[in-house]
């Protein structure tokens, strides 16, 4: 006995993990498959008769309208991405395949939830330029920012400052309390360091317990000295109850200024790094 496909089609559509939408030329939803509840949090009966544009993320509405015009002009779209607002207020990233049907006088779209994929892609983009532990800029990002700042400083004939910072005796924290606790301390110090800089400044973790701070708009030695003093004081504040038994670490900071201490990134970094190690040696000799 032959299979009655006409009878099976509705069942097959509702079994699909992706959501099928049929939308008329006025953007009104005339059909949606049962998978819509997992996608947007609405049952099919709640969506039918409403405007599909009501569920689109407002920031994506303009580009989505352009895609709709394209599809209705007879140009299928198989790789369009946008965001929708779920019933619970959450945001879902959707990959669409859509075409116009003259027979139905409507456009047919299949929507796939790619939120997890988009989040993974965003995290990979973030990690390309950020330290995975502290979430600060990494060495690559810092070098890019320094090159950009130097080019602007040369072009506008203005100074900039570079700080190289090292946590004193940090190895003892790792040795005595474990690397997991050491990582927690580093993250705490990273947030403190961020709190000491402005919106145009860049804080980076260069590796281990070494950090750099780029100050692209420091007009005078007094301003730089004031910033260094603030950082030293903030970093030296007690760690808090969750770090019981750990002495508050201090830090050593080396400073390099453009143009007097160097005209290029490598020279400035070497100067600041060298000054930082001289300060550490002086501290060790005095201690």
Long-range contacts of 231-237 (CB under 8 A, 24+ apart): 231/163, 231/165, 231/193, 231/196, 234/192, 234/193, 234/195, 234/196, 235/189, 235/192, 235/193, 237/192
* Residue 142 shares a structural domain with residue 249: yes
- Catalytic residues, by residue number, are 209
- Looking at the fold, whether 112 and 144 belong to one and the same domain comes out as no
- Exposed/middle/buried for 6, CB within 10 Å: 0-12, 13-18, 19+? exposed
Task: Say if CB 255 and CB 227 are below 8 A apart.
Answer: no
pLDDT of residue 2: 61
**Claim to verify: residue 178 and residue 276 sit in the same structural domain:** yes
Q: Which pLDDT does position 3 carry in this prediction?
A: 52
Per-residue pLDDT at 121: 96
Same domain, 142 and 205: yes
State whether 142 and 273 are in the same domain.
yes
What is the domain-level CATH number for residue 18?
3.30.450.20
* The domain boundary residue, chosen from 70, 85, 120: 120
Q: Domain holding 193: CATH number?
A: 3.30.70.270
Q: Which domain holds residue 234?
A: 129-286
Q: Are residues 99 and 149 in the same domain?
A: no
DSSP state of 249: P
Q: Are residues 184 and 100 in the same domain?
A: no
Say whether pLDDT at 131 is over 80.
yes
pLDDT tens for each residue of 215-274: 997 768 898 999 999 999 999 998 888 888 888 888 999 999 999 999 999 999 999 999
78-121, pLDDT tens digit by residue? Answer: 999 999 999 999 999 999 999 999 999 999 999 999 999 999 99
252 neighbors 240 (Cβ within 8 angstroms)? no
What pLDDT shows up at residue 5? 53
Q: How many domains does the chain have?
A: 2
Rounded to the nearest angstrom, the gap between the alpha carbon of residue 57 and the centroid of all alpha carbons in its chain is 19
Give the pLDDT of residue 136. Answer: 97
Residue 186: pLDDT above 80?
A: yes
Determine the pLDDT at residue 195: 94
Question: What's the whole-model pTM score?
Answer: 0.78
In percent, how much of the chain has pLDDT > 70? 96
pLDDT at residue 1 greater than cutoff 60: no
């Amino acid at each position: 006995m032959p299979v009655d496909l006409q009878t099976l089609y509705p069942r097959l559509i509702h079994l699909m993990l992706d959501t099928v939408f049929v939308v008329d030329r006025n953007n009104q939803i005339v059909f949606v498959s049962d998978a819509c509840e997992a996608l947007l949090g609405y049952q099919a009966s709640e969506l039918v008769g409403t405007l599909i544009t009501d569920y689109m993320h407002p920031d994506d509405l303009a580009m989505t309208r352009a895609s709709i015009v394209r599809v209705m002009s007879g140009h299928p779209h198989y790789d369009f991405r946008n965001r929708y607002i779920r019933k619970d207020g959450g945001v879902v990233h959707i990959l669409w395949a859509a075409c116009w049907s003259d027979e139905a006088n409507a456009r047919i779209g299949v929507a796939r939830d790619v939120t997890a994929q988009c989040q993974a892609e965003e995290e990979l983009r973030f990690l390309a330029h950020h330290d995975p532990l502290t979430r600060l800029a990494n060495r690559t990002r810092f070098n890019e920012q320094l090159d950009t700042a130097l080019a602007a400083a040369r072009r506008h004939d203005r100074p900039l400052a570079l700080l190289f910072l090292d946590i004193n005796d940090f190895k003892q924290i790792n040795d005595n309390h474990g690397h997991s606790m050491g990582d927690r301390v580093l993250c705490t110090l990273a947030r403190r360091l961020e709190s000491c800089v402005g919106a145009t400044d860049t804080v980076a973790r260069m590796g281990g317990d070494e950090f750099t701070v780029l100050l692209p708009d420091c007009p005078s030695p007094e301003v730089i000295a004031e910033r260094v003093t603030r950082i030293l004081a903030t970093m030296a504040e007690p760690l808090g109850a969750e770090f019981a038994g750990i002495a508050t670490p201090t830090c050593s900071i080396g400073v390099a200024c453009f143009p007097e201490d160097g005209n290029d990134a490598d020279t400035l970094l070497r100067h600041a790094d060298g000054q930082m190690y001289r300060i550490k040696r002086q501290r060790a000799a005095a201690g």
